Structure 1
Amino acid sequence: MAFSDQLLTDGEALWNAQKEHPFVVELAEGTLDPAAFRHWVEQDYRYLLDYARVFAIGGCKARDEETMTHLLGISHAILADELELHREFADEYGISRAELEAVTKAPTCVAYTNYLLRVAYEGSLAELAAAIYPCGQGYLDIADHMATIAEEEHRYTPFIEKYTSDEFRESVEWMRTFVDHCAEEYPGEQQAMKEAFLTSTRLETTFWGMAYRRETWDSPR
């Protein structure tokens, strides 16, 4: 079994919990409260800015030209393409780019981005590969799951289409290959990779809840 598949097996319960989360199910059905989706757009925009930084740091850590080029390319694609999709979503709510960039991160978003940046700065390239993997593979698997639930087009269809697109699948396939390469190249890092993968997966799961509850710093604990 490929190491990337082993990680998915290790995190199966968390993976299933994401697919069953009411944010995910209601988005797929088109019944999600627009206020919850707006909160996701705002928070994920801020998340992606740091996610792009993580790939850029990975590119600087890479030892070979091909990996460096690909990681830096993904960082650029996030900034140029994925954030633009979020700006389009935000425009539907009358939120400007300046307002998006001024959004205060919710506690869960702070926890997730801080974790990824710490791994990027302090961890190995193998740990970084495992830490970023749940976001890519997770969104693909969840969007595929959403596509089986959605019965007709609705306001959230572009979300499903973005994360089930051929372009996104190719990006995730590269991430899987990157994880497997690191596990093979650095076998002593596999336990650290597993821990990084599971931590990011837990944070992915809580991110849906953050958006659904519209979590802020003033939310009841």
Structure 2
Amino acid sequence: MAFSDQLLAEGHDLWEAQKTHPFVVELAEGTLNPAAFRHWVEQDYRYLLDYARVFAIGGCKAHDEETMTHLLGIAHSILADELELHREFADEYGISRSELEAVTKAPTCVAYTNFLLRTAYEGSLAELAAAIYPCGQGYLDIAAHMAIIADGEHRYTPFIEKYTSDEFRDSVAWMRTFVDRCGETFPGERDAMKEAFETSTRLETAFWGMAYERETWDEMR
């Protein structure tokens, strides 16, 4: 069994739980409260800026040209393409780019981005590969599930189309291969990779809840 498959198998229950989260189900049906989606747009925009940084750090850590090129290329794609989709969503709510960039991260977004950045700076390249994998594979799997349960086109259809596109599938396929290669090349890193993968998966699940409940720092008082 490929190491990426092993990670997915061991995290099966948490992985499947994301597919039944109210945010995911209601988005697929087109019934999600626009306020919840707006919160996701704002928070995911801030998340993706750091996610791109993590890929860029990985590119700097890579020892071979192919890995360096691909990691830096994904960082550029996030900044140039994926964030543009978020800006288009934001336009529907009258939110400017400067306003998006000034959004305060919710506690869950802080926890997730801080974990990814700490792993990128302090961890090995193998840990980084495992930490970034749940976001890519998770959005592909969840969007594919959404495409199945969606009933016709609605305001959230562009979300589903983005994360089931051939371009996104290709990016995730490379991430999967990257995880497998790291697991084979650095067998001593596998336990650390499993821990990083599990933490990111838990934070991915929490991110849906953060958006659905419109989590803010006021709740922490």
Q: TM-score range by the shorter chain?
A: over 0.9
- Which residue in the other structure is 2:106 paired with? 106
Following superposition, the deviation at residue 220 of structure 1 comes to 5.8
- Which residue in the other structure is 2:185 paired with? 185
- Which residue in the other structure is 2:61 paired with? 61
Give, in whole Å, the separation in 1 of the partners of 2:128 and 2:138: 16
Q: Does 1:127 align with 2:100?
A: no
Give, in whole Å, the separation in 2 of the partners of 1:80 and 1:156: 21
Matches within 5 A, 1:4-43: 4-43=4-43
Three-state SS of the structure 2 residue aligned to 1:218 is helix
| Cα shift readout 1:20-49 (whole Å, capped 9, x = no counterpart) | 100000000000000000000000000000
Following superposition, the deviation at residue 185 of structure 1 comes to 0.3
Gapped regions of structure 1 (runs ≥ 5): none
Following superposition, the deviation at residue 169 of structure 1 comes to 0.2
- Which residue in the other structure is 1:197 paired with? 197
Q: Does 1:154 align with 2:154?
A: yes
- Which residue in the other structure is 1:46 paired with? 46
| Cα shift readout 1:162-183 (whole Å, capped 9, x = no counterpart) | 0000000000000000000000
| Aligned-partner residue type, residue 197 of structure 1 | F
Give, in whole Å, the separation in 2 of the partners of 1:77 and 1:158: 17
Three-state SS of the structure 2 residue aligned to 1:205 is helix
Gapped regions of structure 2 (runs ≥ 5): none
| Aligned-partner residue type, residue 201 of structure 2 | T
- Which residue in the other structure is 2:84 paired with? 84
Give, in whole Å, the separation in 1 of the partners of 2:125 and 2:154: 40
TM-score scaled by length of structure 2: 0.99
Give, in whole Å, the separation in 2 of the partners of 1:220 and 1:29: 31
Three-state SS of the structure 2 residue aligned to 1:42 is helix
Following superposition, the deviation at residue 219 of structure 1 comes to 2.0
Superposition RMSD in Å: 0.7
| Cα shift readout 1:108-139 (whole Å, capped 9, x = no counterpart) | 00000000000000000000000000000000
Give, in whole Å, the separation in 1 of the partners of 2:127 and 2:104: 28
- Which residue in the other structure is 2:216 paired with? 216
TM-score scaled by length of structure 1: 0.99
Identity fraction in percent: 86
| Aligned-partner residue type, residue 114 of structure 2 | N
| Aligned-partner residue type, residue 122 of structure 1 | E
Following superposition, the deviation at residue 151 of structure 1 comes to 1.1
Three-state SS of the structure 1 residue aligned to 2:31 is coil
| Aligned-partner residue type, residue 135 of structure 1 | C
| Aligned-partner residue type, residue 43 of structure 1 | Q
